[in-house]
Amino acid sequence: MEILVNVVGGFVVEVGKFVSKCIYPKIENIVRFSSKVENLREEMEKITKFRDDIKGKVERAEGEGYKPKPNVLKWIEDVHELENEWETKQESIAMAKKLAYKCCPKCSLRSEVSTQAQNIRDQLCRLIETGENFGSNLVVENYRMKKVEFIMGPSIEGQSIAKRNLNKILRLLEDDKVCIIGVWGTGGVGKTTLVKNLNNELLKIDVSNFKLSFGVVIWVSVPKPPIDIRKVQAQISSRLNLKVDNEGSVISIASKIYQRLKQEKSFLLILDDVWEAIDLDHIGVPQPEDSARRKIIVTSRFLDVCRQMNTRADTELNVSTLEEDESWQLFVKNAGDVANLEHIQPLAKEIARECGGLPLAITVIGTSMRGMTRVELWEDALKSLRMSEPHNKDVEKKVYMVIKSSFDILESQDIELSSEQRSKHGNKKRGDIKSCFLYCSLYPVDIPIDDLINCWLAEGILGEHDTYEEAYNRGITTIRSLVDACLLETHEMDFVKMHDVVRDVAKWIANTFGDDHTSVFQAGIGLTEISHIKVSASAKRISFVSNKIQCLPDCFTECPDTTSLLLQDNEPLVKIPHDFFLSFPALRVVNLSATGIRALPCSINSLCQLRALILQNCNALKELPPIGNLCNLQLLDCDNTRLRCLPQRMDKLTNLRLLNMPESDLESSIDQGFFLKLSSIEIINMMGSCLGSTSFDEISSLHNLTSLFIRLDNSSIFNRDHTWMSRLKRFRIEVGKTSIYVPFNKSRREIIVSKCGTFSSRVVSGMLQFASHLYLEEFMGLRKLFAYNSFDGLKSLHIESCSCDFGSAEEGSGHQIDPLPNLEHLSLVYVDNLKSVSDFGHLRFSKLRRLDINICDSLTCLFNVGGGFAVPLEEITISYCEELLKSNSRVRKLVLRYLPKLGTLGEPWEHLEELKVISCNEIRKLPLSIQTSDNIKVIRGTPEWWSQLEWDDNNFKSNLEHCFTESYW
């Protein structure tokens, strides 16, 4: 029995030990659940920090050109997965914490969660041990790639314009919305120098400047067309230390470049000297819009190339030439101290000026003169530059040939069209843009756009066109192309200009690479007479523009091939020899504008090939000889002359397309049938002469007419069918002699009616409703005019010296229809009886944006109670209305001048952004809606008025103080 007891007892003890060993950890997990979870949470936070530390070291090493070890990347990924697993357990942990100890049936949840937590702890311990074993051995030098590589090049130190451009590019690079930046300008202006300095500036950027710290900056010098994509890919691959199979396809290499760049969180690709747009996909460059930290800079001579690569206007930087003082500093830097020698410096400064601020020319020419102490060498160099000749081979190669390459790339548009185009255009040829460019060098300074296009057209280098308008449009497109190629520059509204060095190169090209028909360029050099000038008989074009020529030789060299003779801007030239034009039988263009000539010799009538006769601003010219033999004349421009009569036999000019005589005051009447014979005419400008009804009727039958600018007597508009005016694209017609000053705008459809009596309902409407801009002066019957007619196309209406006779609506008058549904601008001057704009009754002004009221003595209130506009106007200007007492409206800009009785502005002004108050001394307090407005941006007025204003709260004034700008008009 004892033995049995001992055996059983021993068995129970062993079982008890076994059970205790199995159950105790579970009991411990249940009892110490919360403390163990908290300990694990702290350990998870520690490994997260440990992971972030290693990850940061890896990323910094990547930026320096190292590659992370695969086991390090795997470890970072494992930690991340462990963190995710821990996060998924948080809900179970929270539920287990809520269980009370007495809830034994549910203790199994704590046990289960505790077991899972233990598994996480075990993984965590292994990861920590592995991470600690890494030490500093995290990456390998699989490839070595610096973030930015220094690029040799000239410094822009001391060049303020270049520094400003550099800072602008840096700001654009910091903008997350900017993907592609275009840097464009003429050859040799310093685009490459600018972006080289930018590249080197990025070397200095601190790593903390996240937006300018790129993973890699890649410089690519793009080969000239036809672009070899492989050469571009090779430069990118080399920069990235990326091994590619040079024998592989472009597509396979692009794929490898793409995969490599995708690994970079940020990169900057600089494509330098791009001559034609590049498809980034073909190279393998990820599109920059995919990430705010991927940027591309394109430098090009052609603005159009930048735009084809998706630059925007606000991300395009035009690199301009240097200022004179900066040019001189750069010249001395390259020429050395010799440039400052007393006997050399005047010549050196002249040579520097001849370079026109073009850095390439300054650098090359300056270097070529380094160490030259003999004054003769400097004098010879200056003469060569002024004669548009490179004075040595170095200048020719490094300056002239560089700019010539821009000329060479121009597409010659004088090509045969496709068969489909030939059938459509009658086998016409398009213009030759290269010839158009070379023609520009005939002008010394500013080039009038219209004058230039007319010469191109007359010379036939714009191609063949059915209408003058088509040719003019082609001319504008050609100018735009030359400007975008940096071979021309825009200058004011109606002018372009050519850089001095570019002009020199153009002359050099014409004389060196052209055919035997060279050109004579002696423009803008101060000539007083040309008898000593040697002109080749084969001269194609002759230009003596902008000199001081007083006389022309009686016997000029025979020039049977000359097609253009430009003599404009020679004011001292008063007389042209009788037989002068006999020396130029092939002339197509004659320009004598701004000369002092009083008459033209009869030999002008011998120019049977003449297409353009340009006589603008010949103030002393009062008559022309018979010109009936000029059977090919297309353009006769006599703007601002004093012609008293039309030249004899002018009605023979059946090919005339443009007749421009706006200032001529013809004393003799125009013969009946004159206009009918000008069957090809497209543009007539005879504003200076008052035409009668017969001439107006003849003009109405000219089916090619698209532009008409004339003055008529009052009788010309009565009882006529004006539907023919629908084919006019632009016109300015003055009826009666007006005192209203209306600036000439050749693109509008304007009618000015002055001093006309009362009109019946439909007498003038037939003509007026074709106008987009209408001016009425001393016009009686305003109410009837707008009561019975609708002017759907009218955008602007000016009423001056009229009486406001709008009363209550008459029955059947059509007042229920808005007669001015598209009016945007209303101007009222000297309108009698106008007490309020609301007096216009049924005129709704539903699209009005601008309202001008001037010298309306009866005006007391801008709008009656409940008046105004549902939509805020853009601008209201009220001046010299002495009785105005109240002004109220919904407007964005309000200008008030000389309103002595206006004391309150009324309400509301919640949309007001700009306010100007001049000599309105009774306005001592701004409406509360202005004082408290967040929209107001500018308040203009005199300091005295501003300082005397009263405020509801001093804080209101302080809040608007920054908006105030001093103004006296």
Contact (Cβ atoms closer than 8 angstroms) between residue 444 and residue 497? no
Q: How confident is the model at residue 65 (pLDDT cuts 50, 70, 90)?
A: low
Distance, in Å, from the CA atom of 549 to the CA atom of 755, rounded to the nearest integer, reads 47
pLDDT range class, residue 763, cuts 50, 70, 90 = low
Structure tokens at 150: 């220094």
| Paired strand residues for 589 | 564, 612
pLDDT at 103 over 70: no
Q: Which residue, among 481, 114, 466, has the nearest Cα to 307 in the 3D structure?
A: 481
C-alpha dihedral (665, 669, 675, 677), degrees to nearest 10: -120
For 851-863, the DSSP string reads: EEEES-TT--BSS
Which pLDDT does position 808 carry in this prediction?
A: 44
CB-based contacts of 701: which residues, under 8 Å, 6+ apart?
A: 676, 724
Instruction: Count other C-beta atoms under 10 Å from residue 252's C-beta.
Output: 13
The more confidently predicted of residues 315 and 394 is 315
Cα(535)–Cα(553) distance, integer angstroms: 12
Residues 594, 616: contact at Cβ < 8 Å?
A: yes
Residue whose entry in the numeric block shows the structure tokens 């003009």: 699
Q: How far, in Å, CA of 916 to CA of 939, rounded?
A: 6
Which segments of 398-494 are extended strands (E)?
446-448, 489-491
pLDDT of residue 416: 38
Interior/surface letters 316-348, b for 16+ CB within 10 angstroms, e for the rest: bbbbebbeeebbbebbbbbbeebbeeeebeebb
Q: What are the helix (H) ranges across 135-182?
A: 160-174
Determine the 3-state secondary structure of 520 from DSSP: strand
DSSP E strand stretches across 109-167:
139-140
Which span out of 453-467, 717-731, 865-879 was modeled with the highest average pLDDT?
453-467
Whole-number pLDDT of residue 139: 67
Which amino acid, one-letter code, is at 234? A
Round the average pLDDT of the chain to a whole number and report it.
Answer: 83
User: Which among 187, 178, 432, 181 is positioned nearest to 292, based on CA atoms?
Assistant: 178
Rounded (5°) CA angle 852-858-862: 45
Is the pLDDT reported for residue 418 higher than 50?
no
pLDDT of residue 866: 59
* pLDDT > 50? residue 24: no
pLDDT tens profile 208-254: 677 888 889 999 999 888 888 999 999 999 888 887 887 789 999 99
Q: What length does the chain have?
A: 969
pLDDT greater at residue 931 or residue 95: 931
Is residue 898 very low, low, confident or very high in pLDDT (cuts 50, 70, 90)? very high
Checking if the pLDDT of 592 tops 80, the result is yes
Per-residue pLDDT, 816: 56
Question: Quick check: 807 pLDDT over 60?
Answer: no
What is the SS3 assignment for 442?
A: coil
Q: What is the mean pLDDT of residues 322-340?
A: 91
Q: Could you tell me which residue, 445 or 745, shows the higher pLDDT? A: 745
Give the pLDDT score at 421: 45
- Structure confidence at residue 406 (pLDDT): 84
Q: Average of pLDDT values for 670-683? A: 91
Amino acid at 368: S
What is the average pLDDT across 523-546? 83
* Strands annotated E in 26-92: 67-68
Q: Which long-range contacts (CB under 8 A, 24 or more apart) does 111-116 make?
A: 111/26, 111/29, 111/30, 113/33, 113/89, 114/26, 114/29, 114/30, 114/33, 114/36, 115/29, 116/89, 116/92
pLDDT of residue 677: 92
Q: Which residue has the tokens 């407007």?
A: 891
Q: What is the pLDDT of residue 141?
A: 54
Which residue stretches of 624-754 are H helix? 693-699
The answer on pLDDT for 154 being more than 70 is yes
Nearest residue to 72 via CA among 86, 53, 46: 53
Could you tell me the two tokens for 134? 């890494």
Q: What is the pLDDT of residue 776?
A: 92
Q: Detail the DSSP E strand segments found in 780-909.
A: 796-800, 825-829, 850-854, 873-879, 891-897
**Pairing of the two strands 489-491 and 495-497:** antiparallel
Q: Are strands 873-879 and 891-897 parallel, antiparallel or unpaired?
A: parallel
Per-residue pLDDT averaged across 920-925, rounded? 90
**Position with higher pLDDT, 537 vs 182:** 182
Left, alpha or beta for 163 (phi > 0: left; psi -120 to 50: alpha)? alpha
CA distance 487 to 435: 13
Handedness of CA 750, 754, 756, 761 (dihedral sign): positive
Q: How confident is the model at residue 668 (pLDDT cuts 50, 70, 90)?
A: low
pLDDT at 657 over 90: yes
Query: How many Cα neighbours within 13 Å face the side chain of 198?
Result: 32
Q: What contacts 550, CB < 8 A, 6 or more positions away?
A: 528, 529, 572, 573, 574
In order of 189, 272, 443, 488, 496, the CA distances from 403 in angstroms are: 10, 16, 19, 12, 18
Instruction: List the one residue out of 613, 653, 661 whose CA is nearest residue 636.
Output: 613
Q: For residues 879 and 76, what is the distance between their CA atoms, to the nearest angstrom?
A: 75
The DSSP annotation for 181-237 comes to EEEE-STTSSHHHHHHHHHHHHHT--TT-GGG--SEEEEEEPPPSSP-HHHHHHHHH
Looking at the predicted structure, is the pLDDT value of residue 768 above 90? no
Q: How many CB atoms lie within 10 A of CB 927?
A: 19
CA nearest to 194, candidates 144, 223, 153: 153
Q: Which residues are CB-neighbours of 3 under 8 A, at least 6 positions away?
A: none
Name the residue with higher pLDDT: 97 or 636.
636
Q: What angle do CA 899, 904, 910 make, to 5 degrees?
A: 115
Beta strands 707-712 and 683-691, pairing class: parallel
Q: Say what the pLDDT of residue 238 is.
A: 87
Contact 706, 727 (CB under 8 A): yes
More confident residue, 255 or 17: 255
Q: Is the pLDDT of residue 286 over 80?
A: yes
The pLDDT tens digits of the residues spanning 833-870 come to 888 888 776 777 888 999 999 999 888 888 876 555 65
Q: Any bridge partners for residue 707, and if so which? A: 683, 730
pLDDT tens-digit map of 694-730 = 888 899 999 999 999 999 887 766 667 788 999 999 9
Cis amide bond preceding 819, omega within 30: no
For residue 81 the two structure tokens come to 């997965």
Residue 766 vs residues 263, 705, 788, 796, 876: alpha-carbon distances, Å: 71, 19, 12, 18, 31
Checking DSSP bridges between strand 564-566 and strand 489-491, what pairing results, if any?
Answer: unpaired
pLDDT above 90 (res 260): no
Give 99's pLDDT tier (boundaries 50, 70, 90).
low
Structure tokens given for 763 = 């007498």
pLDDT band at 516 (very low <50, low <70, confident <90, very high): very low
Instruction: Give the Cα separation of 563 and 585 in Å (integer).
Output: 9
Give residue 427's pLDDT band: very low, low, confident or very high (50, 70, 90).
Answer: low
- Give CA–CA dist 348/360, Å, rounded: 16
Each residue's pLDDT tens digit, 158-207: 888 889 999 999 999 988 889 999 999 988 888 999 999 999 999 888 76
Residue 803 has pLDDT above 60, yes or no: yes
Whole-number percent of the chain with pLDDT over 70 = 86
Q: Evaluate whether 656 touches 704 at the Cβ level (below 8 Å).
A: no
pLDDT at 520: 79
**Quick one: pLDDT at residue 107?**
57
Partners of 658 in the β-ladder: 635, 683
Structure-model confidence comparison of residues 941 and 1, the more confident one:
941
Non-local CB neighbours of 966 within 8 Å, separated by 6+ positions: 940, 941, 942, 943
- Are 601 and 580 contacting, i.e. CB atoms less than 8 angstroms apart? yes
Per residue in 349-405, pLDDT (tens digit) is 999 998 888 888 888 898 888 888 899 989 988 888 888 888 788 888 888 888 888
**Nearest residue to 892 (alpha-carbon basis) of 850, 860, 931:** 850
